[in-house]
Amino acid sequence: MANPEDMWQCQTVNCGYIYNPDKGDKKGKISKGTRFEDLPEDWKCPICGATRKNFKPLAGPGSAKEA
């Protein structure tokens, strides 16, 4: 399992869904504790079907806080 400081939440720019590693994605069969970076390449937002490329981190590298 990843360190808590490495488990950033990511939000899609399409529908606003937030992927939370602490919860995983029950619909996508992603277990709790899975970092966004470790999601399968073909994983999609369970709400709107957005690909991983349409997500932005809410903290950490690449986030608005880092800018």
The pair phi, psi for residue 22, each rounded to 5°, is -65, -25
pLDDT at 6: 62
Domains and CATH numbers, the chain: 1-60 (2.20.28.10)
Q: What are the two backbone dihedrals, phi and then psi, of residue 63, each rounded to the nearest 5 degrees?
A: -90, 170
List, in sequence order, the alpha helices (H) in the chain: none
Supply the pTM of this predicted model. Answer: 0.78
Per-residue pLDDT reduced to its tens digit, 28-47: 999 999 999 999 999 999 99
Contact 8, 38 (CB under 8 A): no
